[in-house]
Chain A
Amino acid sequence: MRFIQRTRTSIAVLGLGVILVIGCGESAESSQGNQDPVAQESVMDSEGMSVTKRQSTLTKIFHAAPSPMETASLIKRSGAHFHSDALNPAGQSAQYTTSDRQAINLGIYGADLSYATIFEENSTSIDYLEAIQSLSTSLGVNDVLSDDVMGSVEENRNDRQALIRIVSETFYDLNERLKFNGQEDLAGLVVASGWIEGMYLATRHLDEAPVELKKRIAEQKLTLDDVMRLCRSYEQTAELTGLLNAMAPIEAAFAQVNTEEGESTTNREESGSFVIGGGPTFSADDATIQAIAASVASVRNACIQ
């Protein structure tokens, strides 16, 4: 009798275990083929491989968006100046007490940090790294900005390239850790708010903005598409859905950007790298750029409250 009970318990546990294993697997979309639910059952050895029990193939869909560092580089390349008054003050980090507000402002501060770092405002960068360390600790991912990393920041405080590398690695680790912890919704909030802040910084002081910057702002219609697609692939919590819904006016403003499709071409340089020419072109009149700036500012100002 006891043996039968134990057998039943073992079968039940095995079933629960398989469910748990599947539940803990990656949640990014997969499509095509018949996915075998036992896909995640086997464990990789220390070299990153193992024997699989899965027989049917699948197509894994990854989602990504340009990082705030790329947006900051774009702002600088266009000839715009650094505006410290546009940043969300680093000292406000303590006022964000719920995980969704912390994730949103982690994204905001990440974009502010990228902006300051690209413009070589290193002292400002360190203030924002400290604010980010505080928020990431509150979110339980404090190890991405460990004391060792902060020590490295101090040692390299005058080295722009080193700071850029540290900031990029920190946000990659943060994204990886949130996904690994099953907090993809928070990862989505960080990405979306980081994009919003990057656009907010790009659209400040438009009266003195170079023509080049306005063109680059119009092109962000595509990066907005990346961000929305990425965030919609995650589990839709009330907070994530709320932020995406709040971004609807931004989507509406970008819908006024004109797009002309063009044939892409490729050429190879002597260095071995490729140049992809042609492709789409984007244009927007001043009213559209102003509408984009206003809608971005509205969402961003709500985010930092």
Chain B
Amino acid sequence: MKHTLILLLAFGLLATTAQAQCRAFTKKNCMTALDGYIQNDNYNSAILIPGDEAELMLTFLAGQDYRLVVCSHPVLGDVTYEIFDGRGKNLFDSRKGEPNETHVDFKVETTQQLQVKVQVPPSETAIMHEGCVTVLMGSKS
């Protein structure tokens, strides 16, 4: 019985440790990219593998300056992202020679919902890694 409890506790610990590691990664490696901006309250981090995607839809208010940060563990390779308007029109693609691949600064002339799509590149390696991916949003007036 004692062994059972120990094993159960160990499994529980493994799960929470994985999430804790992702939180720690975000705090250590991603938050500084929002310096000068007021960070959005929502915590959006996930453990992804090659080929995974992530999506986020959010309203952006007219008159605010925004910074979108897509922060990922280097083991996942060149994680890319695109921004679409409410009608599905592509407004930004991080693969198209943008100056900074981890964040983009923008403002909207009218309040509108935009969709952010994040892609983790596929991998052909025999051993695949998973890594933390975080999407952060900051604003300033």
Residues of A within 8 A of B (CB): 6, 9-10, 12-14, 16-18, 20-21, 23-26, 28, 32, 39-52, 54-55, 57-70, 73-74, 76-77, 164-165, 168-169, 171-172, 174-176, 179-180, 191, 194, 216, 219, 222-223, 225-226, 229-230, 261-264, 266, 271-282
Q: Report A66 CB to chain B, min CB distance, Å.
A: 6
Contact A222 B113 (CB under 8 A): yes
Q: For residue A148, give the distance in angstroms from its CB to the closest CB of chain B.
A: 15
Contact B21 A48 (CB under 8 A): yes
Contact A273–B106 (Cβ < 8 Å): yes
In the bound assembly, the distance between CA atoms of A57 and B120 in angstroms comes to 10
Chain B at the A interface: SS class: mixed
Contact string against A for B residues 125-141, beta-carbon threshold 8 Å, 1 for contact and 0 otherwise: 00111111101010101
Contacts of B24 in A (CB 8 A): 46, 48
Please indicate the chain A residues that have their CB under 8 angstroms from the CB of B47 in the complex: 39-40, 44
Which single member of A45, A57, A74 contacts B51 (CB below 8 Å)?
A: A57
Shortest beta-carbon distance from A250 to chain B in Å: 16
Closest B-chain residue to A59, C-beta based?
B53
Q: Which 6 A/B pairs are nearest by Cβ-Cβ distance?
A: A48-B25, A17-B11, A273-B105, A52-B130, A24-B15, A44-B21
Q: Give the nearest-CB partner of B48 in chain A.
A: A60
* B29-52 interface (Cβ within 8 A of A): 29, 38-44, 46-52
Whether A274 lies near B92 (C-beta < 8 A) is yes
Q: Is the CB of A277 within 8 A of B141?
A: no
29 interchain pairs, CB-CB under 8 A: A20-B15, A23-B15, A26-B46, A28-B46, A44-B131, A46-B24, A52-B130, A55-B128, A59-B52, A59-B55, A60-B55, A61-B56, A62-B42, A64-B44, A65-B42, A65-B58, A69-B41, A70-B61, A74-B61, A168-B38, A172-B40, A226-B57, A264-B91, A266-B91, A271-B105, A274-B92, A278-B109, A279-B85, A280-B86
Known interface pairs A48-B25, A169-B39. Does A42 touch B53 (Cβ–Cβ under 8 Å)? no
How many positions in chain B have a CB within 8 Å of any CB in the partner chain?
A: 80
Are B105 and A58 in contact, with the CB atoms below 8 A?
Answer: no
Q: Does B86 lie within 8 Å of A276, measured CB to CB?
A: no
Chain A residues with CB under 8 Å of B18's CB are: 40, 42-44, 50
- A225 and B86 CA atoms in complex are apart in Å by 13
User: Which residues of B come within 8 Å of A, CB atoms?
Assistant: 3-4, 7-8, 10-12, 14-25, 29, 38-44, 46-65, 73, 75-76, 85-87, 89, 91-92, 99-100, 104-114, 127-133, 135, 137, 139, 141
Are A21 and B22 interface neighbours, CB within 8 A? no
* Alpha-carbon distance between A23 and B39 when the two chains are bound, in angstroms: 29
Q: For residue A24, which residues in chain B have a CB less than 8 angstroms away from its CB?
A: 12, 15-16, 19
Cβ–Cβ < 8 Å partners of A171 in chain B = 41
